[in-house]
Structure 1
Amino acid sequence: MSDQSLEGAAALVTGAGGGIGAATARRLAREGATVALLARRRDRLWQVASDIADLGGHAVAVEADLTEPERADDAVQEALDRLGRLDILVNNAGVMLLNSALHTTLDEWDRMVSLNIRALLHVTHAAVPHLIYAASTSPRQVADLVNVGSTAGRAARPGNSVYSLTKAGLNAFTESLRQELLGERVRVSVVEPGAVDTEPMNHLGGAVRETPGALRAEDVADAIGYVVTRDRRVAVDQMLVRAGGRSW
């Protein structure tokens, strides 16, 4: 049971076209939030919005490539214009391209840095003032910023050097931002899943592509839903979520 209803709250979820993002959007909608879905593919966004409507919720689709700073800022503003406010931001957009330094390309490394780090910064910078305003004006008296990290941010393994770099950096960024926004009643959290059976797993090579016993996207969405529905006296700063039968 949730401590705090999200009725009347507005949430923005990046990477909401599928996987963890779509599952999180559906979970927040079930808790009562209106959700802005942000991703590059319009067809997928409309499908998720339709799923949420079937659940009795409401979602709007915002198509954007977040690796472009101006478009990221415009996308946050579009979400704000259509929802009227912004109480929750879930930074979920990301990509995992695993390979050794010998065999990868600089383009693959750049793609991970662009989406996993630069897009995160663009969206966060645009959203923070609106989260602060929401915390001071909403019945919840709190706002939430949740970054989706990874166990790779804690333990580097062969083939995931730059992916781990981006997720370790996300952890440091999240902790610093958490301390900065304490006085503004904006809770900043990181949820770090282990292996999840979602589309990013298709970017893995070899036998790693098969993920028996992996988490489901809904498992991570449940964790995010738990974080943002705590009473305002409670802040869940970090949550590490692994599949019961896996070591990572």
Structure 2
Amino acid sequence: MSSNISNNTSNNISNKVIVITGGSSGLGEATARYLASLGASVVLGARRVERLEAIAADIRAAGGKVAVQATDVTRPDQVQALVKLAHDNFGKVDVIINNAGFMALAPLTDTRIEEWDRMIDINVKGLLYGVAAALPVFKAQNSGHFINIASVAGTKVFSPGGTVYSGTKFAVRAITEGLRHEVGGSIRTTIISPGAVRSELKLGSSNEQSATAVNEWYEQNEISEDSVARAIAYAIEQPADVDISEIVLRPTVQEF
């Protein structure tokens, strides 16, 4: 019995143009480096331009293709500019990875409204701005792939302390599933829901007790950010008629 399965996993990644928000560290950085090593052109947005430039220099030194731009995902015009940069530089946009995120853990009784607003602005509205920027391009091309970073906290409420954060990640999953249903056909959607993965996400809490607890918990559980990069690559490399709707990945030792 013959098989059409190829051992070259970069076949459907090489020459793709991939936009990544939150690309200056953690999951975004690891994913950019990995996809560039497989032949993709990566376009990175984040607020820390010096970090983006350092990552870009490494990618170029290794023979990869990359462009970077200062991007605050709470500004829809800046997200649109990032997608335009990708299209102007490389002639198309195949994938957008809405990765930028913020996690501030604290009991609801703290009523840290500014932190609630920031999580909603980055995790929900920032993702929607990515959809708004890329969707017209994808529709015009009749192809494209949204990869939205959710969390295991979007499958089970992370409380006490993470209730609002969980709310934003439940929203990511709902928005992505609705997007899949609405755009269908030639545009793909993928939800990536990581557990404890090494990144700066754990550093967002201003409540001292919550910050200490979450850092200790991550130290006991976290796995490499490369695990997420590989999951994302798996979703991208599938044939155009295959939609990996959701991947949930955790450290084997993580109970939650």
Q: Same fold (TM over 0.5)?
A: yes
Shift of 1:48: 1.4
Q: 1:30: which partner in 2?
A: 37
SS in 2 for 1:27: helix
Q: Matches of 1:178 and 1:92 in 2, distance apart?
A: 18
Shift of 1:173: 0.4
Question: Pairwise mapping of residues 60-71 of structure 1 onto structure 2 (< 5 A)?
Answer: 60-71=67-78
Give me the TM-score of the superposition, normalised by structure 1.
Answer: 0.92
Q: 2:110: which partner in 1?
A: 103
Question: Pairwise mapping of residues 18-97 of structure 1 onto structure 2 (< 5 A)?
Answer: 18-97=25-104
Q: Matches of 1:131 and 1:35 in 2, distance apart?
A: 17
The 8 Å contact of residues 195 and 215 in structure 1, kept in 2 or not, is answered as yes
Structure 1, unmatched stretches of 5+, are 137-141
Aligned-partner residue type, residue 212 of structure 2 = G
Give me the TM-score of the superposition, normalised by structure 2.
Answer: 0.89
Q: Matches of 1:13 and 1:35 in 2, distance apart?
A: 7
SS in 1 for 2:108: coil
Q: Matches of 1:3 and 1:82 in 2, distance apart?
A: 22
User: Larger C-alpha radius of gyration, 1 or 2?
Assistant: 2
SS in 2 for 1:102: helix
The 8 Å contact of residues 62 and 79 in structure 1, kept in 2 or not, is answered as no
Q: Matches of 1:3 and 1:66 in 2, distance apart?
A: 29
Among 207, 215, 225, the residue aligned to 1:209: 215
Q: 2:243: which partner in 1?
A: 235
Q: Matches of 1:132 and 1:33 in 2, distance apart?
A: 21
Aligned-partner residue type, residue 197 of structure 2 = V
Shift of 1:104: 4.5
Q: Matches of 1:245 and 1:132 in 2, distance apart?
A: 42
Q: Matches of 2:69 and 2:230 in 1, distance apart?
A: 23
Among 116, 127, 133, the residue aligned to 2:123: 116
Between Structure 1 and Structure 2, how many residues are aligned? 241
Q: 1:153: which partner in 2?
A: 154
Q: Matches of 1:236 and 1:155 in 2, distance apart?
A: 21
Q: 1:222: which partner in 2?
A: 230
The 8 Å contact of residues 3 and 231 in structure 1, kept in 2 or not, is answered as no
CA root-mean-square deviation: 1.5
The share of aligned pairs that are identical, in percent, is 35
**Change in 2 beyond 3 A, CA 1:44/1:219:** same
The 8 Å contact of residues 10 and 38 in structure 2, kept in 1 or not, is answered as no
Structure 2, unmatched stretches of 5+, are 1-6, 206-210
